[in-house]
Structure 1
Amino acid sequence: MTRRELRGTIGWVEAAGDYEFAPLRIPPGTSRTAAATMLSLQADTGGWELARLQLHADGTRKVILRRRSRLSYLPGPHL
């Protein structure tokens, strides 16, 4: 068996009203601690906060991050 590397994906950052939103997909097999650490780093470096988190039956996490539009000079989300 070969181990394939799974990476999260980030959708387009969309602005709606006073907030910017960035959809993020965290692949199955990522531990809860690792996912929390990734989201914590996004909050610290880019001013993002958690708007919504969905955990699917296959283990995939779909996350929506948001931040105030005035913080758009900060870097976008990254993995």
Structure 2
Amino acid sequence: MEYEFRRFWVSREYSRSSVRRLLTDAAEYGGWELSRLRMFPDGRRRVTMRRKIIRVARTY
């Protein structure tokens, strides 16, 4: 399997429910899944999401 990754930071000003909504929308509409989420002591979150790369075999 090959995956493409998307990494981003979420500020501490965002509530847990708004971050959950953001990740749910990305999963539902973009095909992303949560790969890793790390929360730092100052409240920032580092998010890594991934999705499968689908290759279409060409036949001529």
Common fold: TM-score over 0.5: yes
1:35 match: 19
1:11-42: CA deviations, max 9, x gaps? xxxxxx61000001111121000000000000
Relative CO higher for 1 or 2, CA cutoff 8 Å, sep ≥ 6? Answer: 2
Q: How does 1:40-55 map to 2 (within 5 A)?
A: 40-55=24-39
- Structure-1-length-normalised TM-score: 0.65
- Alignment identity in percent? 36
Q: How does 1:1-79 map to 2 (within 5 A)?
A: 18-70=2-54
Opposite residue 51 of structure 2, the aligned amino acid is R
| Deviant stretches of 4+, over 6 Å | none
Q: d(CA) in 1 for partners of 2:24 and 2:54? A: 20
The number of residue pairs the alignment matches comes to 55
Opposite residue 69 of structure 1, the aligned amino acid is I
What's the C-alpha RMSD, in Å, of the aligned pairs?
A: 1.4
